[in-house]
């Protein structure tokens, strides 16, 4: 029996999930291990919510609300309505009835003492995502964003990433992005092994700061990626000088990185990246990226449907073949 390539994919939410769906089409016999960002996780109404893990699980498992990109298809909101009648907050984070079942099970298992990796594996038994979905860490890491706030002492305050992103729509200027707890976090079971034994590592078009950035900040993960014999190929989430969806530019600004496909490649750096895909309309940046010592190609990078995402995944695998270090 022949087995396909082992592919490791550090992943955020919507951008990663859509890319992974394409990768499964492009490389149907591959053994794909997803290293999921958990620093967006939040506890609401006593329930542990893991938005990025769930977005990957629902998208690959066929349960995603397709147009929205996150949350469940065919969703209702009776519980949220009842909570609002009780005056219980927050009211800015949407929790649908079907989605809530996932968070109830997760919280129950965590309370019983199971690590998040075991809980995620149990949830994936239902969804059969066709990949191994590993949390980046079983330890708690929470991204906080330091924002300007004229009313706060010192003119600034820190808020949970979800409050900044969902409630405040990334409008206040972000001064700093802090993955709280990351320096004490250990990579989750299987994470370093998946990177070390991979034939290819792909960085999907995920947020470079709060998705890929936090995964890289878990001690040991960046080193595993720079040390692995596998080529590491990234796909730009920035197209034509702006994020395709969302407000990633606001966070790039906070860490002093320009919102261009070339600046993000430079931020990751040639120690990490062997190859980088930019969108066709950023073809003028290919030489700049190549000058950094990173193989670069311009291809269509809009994931308008799963086939378009599959084409992107094929381009990334092609570049991995071409860019494999001797
Ligand atoms: P989140 O956790 O849901 O924000 O998702 P990710 O971190 O995985 O991805 C967010 C990033 O995906 C954003 O920076 C978007 O610009 C990028 N993105 C979303 N859709 C596309 C697409 O069709 N093409 C490309 N190139 N990037 C995309
Ligand atoms: Ca996310």
Query: Please, which residues have CB within 8 angstroms of residue 307's CB and are 6 or more apart in sequence?
Result: 22, 25
Question: What is the share, in percent, of the chain residues with pLDDT greater than 70?
Answer: 98
Give the distance (Å) from ligand 2 centre to CA of residue 51: 6
Q: What is the pLDDT of residues 44-63, one digit of tens each?
A: 999 999 999 999 999 999 99
The CATH superfamily assigned to 6-40+184-321 is CofD-like domains (3.40.50.10680)
What is the Cα–Cα distance from 234 to 219, expressed in whole angstroms? 21
Q: What is the pLDDT of residues 76-115, one digit of tens each?
A: 999 999 999 999 989 999 899 999 999 999 999 999 999 9
pTM of the model: 0.97
Q: What is the pLDDT of residues 175-203, one digit of tens each?
A: 999 999 999 999 999 999 999 999 999 99
**Which H, E and C letters describe 148-168, residue by residue?**
ECCCCHHHEEEEEHHHHHHHC
Q: What is the pLDDT of residues 149-181, one digit of tens each?
A: 999 999 999 999 999 999 999 999 999 999 999
Nearest CA to ligand 1 atom 5: 13
Pocket of ligand 1 (CB under 6 A): 12-16, 52, 55, 205-207, 211, 236-237, 239, 243-246, 248, 301-303
Atom of ligand 1 nearest to the CA of 235: 26
Nearest CA to ligand 1 atom 26: 237
Neighbours of ion ligand 2 (CB under 5 A): 12-13, 40, 52
CA neighbor of 8 nearest in space, from 228, 189, 214, 182: 228
What is the Cα–Cα distance from 259 to 263, expressed in whole angstroms? 7
What is the Cα–Cα distance from 78 to 82, expressed in whole angstroms? 6
Contact 137, 186 (CB under 8 A): yes
Q: Provide the pLDDT for residue 162.
A: 96
């Amino acid at each position: 029996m022949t087995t396909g390539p082992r592919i490791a994919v550090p992943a955020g939410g919507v951008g990663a999930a859509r890319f992974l769906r394409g990768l499964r089409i492009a490389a149907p016999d591959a053994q794909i291990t997803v290293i999921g960002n958990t620093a967006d996780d939040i506890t609401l109404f006593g329930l542990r919510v893991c938005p990025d893990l769930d977005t990957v699980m629902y998208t690959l498992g066929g349960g995603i609300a397709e147009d929205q990109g996150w949350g469940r298809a065919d969703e209702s909101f009776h519980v949220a309505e009842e909570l609002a009648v009780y005056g219980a907050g927050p009211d800015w984070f949407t929790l649908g009835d079907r989605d809530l079942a996932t968070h109830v099970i997760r919280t129950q298992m965590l309370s019983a003492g199971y690590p998040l990796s075991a809980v995620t594996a149990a949830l994936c038994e239902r969804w059969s995502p066709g990949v191994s979905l590993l949390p980046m860490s079983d330890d708690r890491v929470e991204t906080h964003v330091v924002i300007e706030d004229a009313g706060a002492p010192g003119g600034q305050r820190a808020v949970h990433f979800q409050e900044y992103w969902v409630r405040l729509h990334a409008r206040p200027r972000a001064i700093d992005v802090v993955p709280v707890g990351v320096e004490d976090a250990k990579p989750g079971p299987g994470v370093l092994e998946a990177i070390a034994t991979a034939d290819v590592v792909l960085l999907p078009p995920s947020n470079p700061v709060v998705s890929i950035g936090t995964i890289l900040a878990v001690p040991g993960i960046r080193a595993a990626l720079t040390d692995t014999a596998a080529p590491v190929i990234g796909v730009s989430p920035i197209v034509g000088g702006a994020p395709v969806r969302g407000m990633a530019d606001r966070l790039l600004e906070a860490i002093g990185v320009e919102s261009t496909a070339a600046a993000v490649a430079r931020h990751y750096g040639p120690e990490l990246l062997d190859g980088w895909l930019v969108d066709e309309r950023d073809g003028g940046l290919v030489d700049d990226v190549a000058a950094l010592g990173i193989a670069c190609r311009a291809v269509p990078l809009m994931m308008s449907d799963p086939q378009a995402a599959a084409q992107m995944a094929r381009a990334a695998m092609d570049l991995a073949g071409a860019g494999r270090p001797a």
